[in-house]
Amino acid sequence: MNDAVAAPAGQSWKVTLPCTRAEAEALDGDIAAFALMDRPPVLMTSEASPDDEDQWQLDAYFEGKPSAAAVKLLKTLVPSASRTKPAIEQLPDEEWVTISQQGLEAVTAGRFHVRNLASDPEAPGHVNLLIEASRAFGTGQHETTAGCLAMLDRMRRVGMRYRNVADIGTGTGLLAFAALNLWPRAHAIASDIDPVAVEISADNAHANGVMLGSGAGQLALVTAAGADHAAIIGRAPYDLLIANILAGPLIELAPSLCALVEDGGTIVLAGLLNGQADAVLAAYRAQGMRLAERSDRGDWPTLRLRKRPRIGWKRPQRLRANARGEAPGFGSI
């Protein structure tokens, strides 16, 4: 999920508030309150004092100076700090996502074990992937990414097979890597609107032994807004399309994404909140999709949709190699 990208030099800010241990644990991995923001902050909690196990702090990393409304919303997450003046500081010219992601714990979802640091131990019996802290999001820690990993794993376990995969809004490339691990003979393409994320995905592919290219078992990477790229359109139709972005873009992209999927094909959607699921589903049902499975992690659902096969005169027909462009039964002799 490409939630955010590197902030321009000198535009990274941090807001710090004290909190209790209970408040910190309740916030673990949860940014639902900021989900409607274009650039939601990254929330980190840590022990503030080694001598007091209940004294913790909340650090929120913002791309750009946080507004008064954002700071006010942040304070609602830690009621014990309601009367405390937050510490607000501009960070040095460093990669803010890298700073905020350092030290994140490894995450296991299905057969996948995603490490954030090379020094973290691998998990025996799992597919181990290394997605180090970087300038792009999608390290597996967020419920949306972990939910997609678990969904893809479950799809493979029940025997689903795919040969042509697209990952729209790939972030770090993680979900595309997982899909190629599950279906190693598939063709795969991953895109992101941010060229930095595409660069990061290429680096991560190399670190995880994923071959880049256009052949079977290889991953093609492109910079694109949604599905607006000749390479994405040219490789269609897809039997599996993954889009882990936000609810607004998912709704806006519904016609173009569904058009890329073959009859009977699958779309996996994530990045939306529980309260946004009905609107997202309505947009995709209008394009001939049906809900096949839903899995929730906290406030974040992952949706598996299947494209309804069209029948009769609406069903597309592929020409045989020796065909003359005639459709028997529809006026041809």
Residue 180 sits in a domain whose CATH number is 3.40.50.150
329 is in an annotated binding site: no
192 is in an annotated binding site: yes
Q: Is residue 107, in this structure, part of any structural domain at all?
A: no
Q: What is the pLDDT of residue 94?
A: 52
Going residue by residue through the chain, which has 333 residues, state the pLDDT in tens, using 9 for 90 and above.
433 333 344 478 889 999 998 888 777 544 566 766 667 787 777 777 767 777 889 888 887 889 999 999 999 999 999 999 999 998 765 554 555 445 456 788 899 999 887 778 888 999 999 987 654 444 444 678 889 999 999 999 999 999 999 999 998 899 999 999 999 999 999 999 889 889 999 999 999 999 999 999 999 999 999 899 999 999 999 999 999 988 889 999 999 999 999 999 999 999 888 889 999 999 999 999 999 999 998 888 999 999 998 754 444 433 333 333 222 222 322
Residues 224 and 279 in one domain: yes
Residues 69 and 177 in one domain: no
Q: Is residue 61, in this structure, part of any structural domain at all?
A: yes
* Distance (Å, whole) CA 65 – CA 70: 10
Q: What is the pLDDT of residue 30?
A: 44
- Smallest CA-to-CA distance from 42 within 95, 120, 114 is with 95
120 is in an annotated binding site: no
* Distance (Å, whole) CA 333 – CA 327: 9
Residues 88 and 189 in one domain: no
Q: What is the pLDDT of residue 79?
A: 93
End position of a domain, from candidates 92, 114, 131 = 92
Residues 288 and 143 in one domain: yes
* Distance (Å, whole) CA 165 – CA 184: 11
Q: What is the pLDDT of residue 137?
A: 45
Residues 287 and 153 in one domain: yes
Residues 150 and 239 in one domain: yes
CB 131 within 8 A of CB 205: no
169 is in an annotated binding site: yes
Q: What is the pLDDT of residue 312?
A: 47
Residues 49 and 194 in one domain: no
Question: How would you label 283-302 residue by residue, b for 16+ Cβ within 10 Å and e otherwise?
Answer: bbeebbbeeeeeeebebbbb
Could you list the residue range(s) of the whole structural domain that residue 40 is in?
12-92
Tell me, what DSSP letter sits at residue 312? G
pTM above 0.75, yes or no: no
Q: Are strands 219-223 and 187-192 parallel, antiparallel or unpaired?
A: parallel
End position of a domain, from candidates 67, 92, 117 = 92
* Distance (Å, whole) CA 136 – CA 109: 20
Q: What is the pLDDT of residue 133?
A: 62
Residues 167 and 44 in one domain: no
Residues 88 and 205 in one domain: no
End position of a domain, from candidates 36, 68, 92 = 92
In angstroms, the Cα distances linking 272 to 34, 247, 261, 284 are 12, 5, 21, 14
Q: Is residue 235, in this structure, part of any structural domain at all?
A: yes
Overall domain count for the chain: 2
Q: What is the pLDDT of residue 36?
A: 64
Residues 21 and 164 in one domain: no
Q: What is the pLDDT of residue 303?
A: 97
* Distance (Å, whole) CA 237 – CA 125: 34
Q: What is the pLDDT of residue 121?
A: 84
Residues 86 and 154 in one domain: no
Residues 56 and 186 in one domain: no
Tokens read off for 183: 């279906």
**Phi/psi at 115 (5° precision):** -100, 145
Q: What is the pLDDT of residue 194?
A: 87
